[in-house]
Amino acid sequence: MKRAMAALLVAAYLTLVVDVLGDNRSATSLLPATAFLLLATWGYQWVQRKGERRFAYAYVVVLFLTGFGVFLVSEASLASTLMLVVLVSQTVLLLPVPAVIAVVLLLPLFHIGMALDEGLREGLGLLAAAVFAAAVTELLKREQAARAALAEANARLREYSVQVERLAAVQERNRVARDIHDGLGHALTVVQMQIKAARALLEPQPERAGEMLAKAQDQAEEALREVRRSVGALREPRPAVPLPQALRVLAEEASAAGVPTEVGVTGAARQLLAEAEESLFRAAQEGLTNVRKHAQATRAAVVLDYSGAAAVRLEVRDDGAGAAGAGDGGFGLLGLRERAAHLGGRLTFASEPGGGSTLCMEVPG
Query: Which pLDDT score, from 0 to 100, does residue 266 have?
Result: 92
- In CATH terms, the superfamily for domain 244-365 is Histidine kinase-like ATPase, C-terminal domain (3.30.565.10)
Q: What is the C-alpha separation between 323 and 350, in angstroms, rounded?
A: 9
Helix, strand or coil, per DSSP, at residue 264: strand
Output the CA–CA distances (angstroms, integers) from residue 66 to 71, 91, 338, in the order listed: 9, 14, 73
Burial of 8 (0-12, 13-18, 19+ CB in 10 A): middle
Q: What is the C-alpha separation between 269 and 25, in angstroms, rounded?
A: 103
**pLDDT for 264-274, tens place per residue?**
999 998 888 88
How much of the chain is helix, strand and coil, in % rounded to 5?
A: 70, 10, 20
Output the CA–CA distances (angstroms, integers) from residue 94 to 131, 134, 322, in the order listed: 16, 12, 77
Give, as one character, the DSSP assignment of residue 238.
Answer: P
Domain extents in the chain:
2-112, 244-365
Provide the 10 A C-beta neighbour count for residue 177: 14
Phi and psi (nearest 5°) for 244? -55, -40
* Distance of alpha carbon 51 from the chain centroid: 34
Give, as one character, the DSSP assignment of residue 319.
Answer: -
Q: What is the C-alpha separation between 327 and 358, in angstroms, rounded?
A: 10
Query: Which pLDDT score, from 0 to 100, does residue 177 have?
Result: 66
Query: Which pLDDT score, from 0 to 100, does residue 29 have?
Result: 74
Q: What is the C-alpha separation between 348 and 316, in angstroms, rounded?
A: 11
**pLDDT for 133-174, tens place per residue?**
889 888 988 888 898 888 888 888 878 877 887 777 677 766
Residues 49, 96 contacting (CB under 8 angstroms):
no
Query: Which pLDDT score, from 0 to 100, does residue 313 have?
Result: 95
Quickly list DSSP for 107-156: GGGGGBTB-HHHHHHHHHHHHHHHHHHHHHHHHHHHHHHHHHHHHHHHHH
Provide the 10 A C-beta neighbour count for residue 194: 24
Query: Which pLDDT score, from 0 to 100, does residue 324 have?
Result: 47
Helix, strand or coil, per DSSP, at residue 363: strand
Low-confidence ranges of the chain (pLDDT < 50): 235-238, 324-328
